Amino acid sequence: MADSTTKSTPPAGSPAAQSPKSAKSPKSPSEAAGQSPAGATGPEAEITIDDGESDNASTIDDRISSYTASLSSSVVDYPTEHGRRYHSFRSGSYILPNDESEMDRLDFCHTLLTKTIGNKLFLAPIDEAKIRRVLDVGTGTGIWAIEMGDKLPNAEILGNDLSAIQPAWVPPNVKFEIDDVESEWIGAKYDFIFSRYMCGSIADWPTYVKRVYENLNPGGWAEFQDWSFMIYSDDGTIEGTELLRWVDLFMDACKVFGRDGQIGPKLESLVRENTGFINIHHKPYKIPAGPWAKDPHLKDIGMLELIQLLDGLEGFSLRLLCGALGWTKEEVLVLLAGVRKDLKDPKIHAWLHYNVVYGQKPEKEEE
């Protein structure tokens, strides 16, 4: 007799014949056809092969070139406003143009600023023989980085900017990259970080100077050079001028854009209050807006400043006054005609602040 406790085996294929682990839900039409469900990203999802790709091996280099060119075009597909060209990467975060006229002005401004500080690229007392990595923040046309590359041939010089306007032919130790310095910083640290003419570019200055400090190697140096765009006169000759009116409007527009147009004189306090820098030095300069000074050096840099101001007036004004204050282009151009007249008037003795602040990261930080 059969044991009364023995149960008969269920027919194959019945639900009871399948263990819970082996039970499967019905396949979707795409799975039944050997395709992964739309949006499947798991490691078990099967990737469908495009059989046509096997015929394209000989053209892969051309396709890579085309694809990277397409990606690059998104960085250099520059928008235009009021007849001027602006950066496209993180569009709107920088208030000045990046077209050829502005590039020429930036190179001219480089000459002005190096002359201002004694025909030097920087003032920080770096040990040039020990410098291996240098960062030029907001490199612009790359002219400072290129000259630094020639000066320090054994160092790697990196320049970053929102605009890809740097030349292709540069010293072998110089590289450029498109980056936003107000995003998180990644990568190896530096022995020297140089920051010049970032006034109007940075929204959060305390965080910016902290990042500069944090991304230095122990013992490394940082140097900040910057303007105040406010214009002064010691004898009151700018009072009641279109020049002063323009400056006041410029400052109002900077505030609308969330930018500080008078950062230069504040650099030292920013560095002292937000970082652990030691050996901090502050060198202030007065740059005449015209060749009205008696001193030959000031007369020379005053002429340079006048030229770069006249060349830059439209670029300084159009996006700010039209975008922030709602002016028309025609209204701006009428205002600028009066500003140019004032700048060329030898009886108006205007000048601007320019400040250099540098400091060193300690070899060993206090805990």
Span of 80-89, 197-206, 238-247 with lowest mean pLDDT: 80-89
Q: Contact, 216 vs 187, CB < 8 A? A: no
What is the pTM assigned to this prediction? 0.76
Asked if the structure places residue 2 within a domain, the reply is no
Asked if the structure places residue 36 within a domain, the reply is no
Residue 176, helix vs strand vs coil = strand
Q: What does the pLDDT read at residue 123? A: 98
Span of 68-72, 182-186, 292-296 with lowest mean pLDDT: 68-72
Span of 72-86, 153-167, 178-192, 318-332 with lowest mean pLDDT: 72-86
Q: Domain range for residue 172?
A: 60-69+79-361
Q: Which residue is listed with tokens 């500003």? A: 339
Asked if the structure places residue 42 within a domain, the reply is no
Phi, psi of 155 (to 5 degrees): -105, 150
**Between 99 and 84, where is the model more confident?**
99
The residue among 318, 113, 101, 133 whose CA lies nearest residue 222 is: 133
**Between 71 and 127, where is the model more confident?**
127
For residues 182 and 164, give the distance between their C-alpha atoms in angstroms, rounded to a whole number: 17
Give every CB contact of residue 27 below 8 A, 6+ residues apart in sequence: none
Average pLDDT over residues 34-50: 50
What spatial distance separates the first Cα and last Cα of the chain, rounded to whole Å? 86
Q: Total domain count for the chain?
A: 1
CATH number (domain holding residue 317): 3.40.50.150
Q: DSSP code of 8? A: P
Asked if the structure places residue 143 within a domain, the reply is yes
Asked if the structure places residue 17 within a domain, the reply is no
Q: What does the pLDDT read at residue 26? A: 41
Span of 4-13, 150-159, 310-319 with lowest mean pLDDT: 4-13
Q: What does the pLDDT read at residue 162? A: 81
Amino acid at 82: H
Span of 17-26, 202-211, 314-323 with lowest mean pLDDT: 17-26
Asked if the structure places residue 19 within a domain, the reply is no
Amino acid at 98: N
Q: Which residue is listed with tokens 């149960």? A: 7
Asked if the structure places residue 41 within a domain, the reply is no
Average pLDDT over residues 234-250: 97
What tens digit of pLDDT does each residue of 140-177 get?
899 999 999 999 999 999 999 887 778 889 999 999 99
Beta-bridged to residue 351, according to DSSP, are: 232, 288
**Between 282 and 68, where is the model more confident?**
282
What tens digit of pLDDT does each residue of 250-278 get?
999 999 999 999 999 999 999 999 999 99
Q: What is the mean pLDDT of the chain?
A: 82
Asked if the structure places residue 233 within a domain, the reply is yes
pLDDT band at residue 6 using 50, 70 and 90 as cut-offs: very low
CB atoms within 10 A of CB 125: 11
Q: What does the pLDDT read at residue 167? A: 86
Q: Contact, 320 vs 95, CB < 8 A? A: yes
Residue 202 sits at the vertex; the CA angle it makes with 163 and 86, to the nearest 5 degrees, is 30
pLDDT band at residue 86 using 50, 70 and 90 as cut-offs: low
- DSSP H or E run through 268: helix 267-274
- DSSP H or E run through 280: strand 278-288
How far from 13 is each of 10, 22, 23, 92, 251, CA to CA, in Å? 8, 12, 11, 66, 81
Q: Is the pLDDT of residue 93 over 60?
A: no
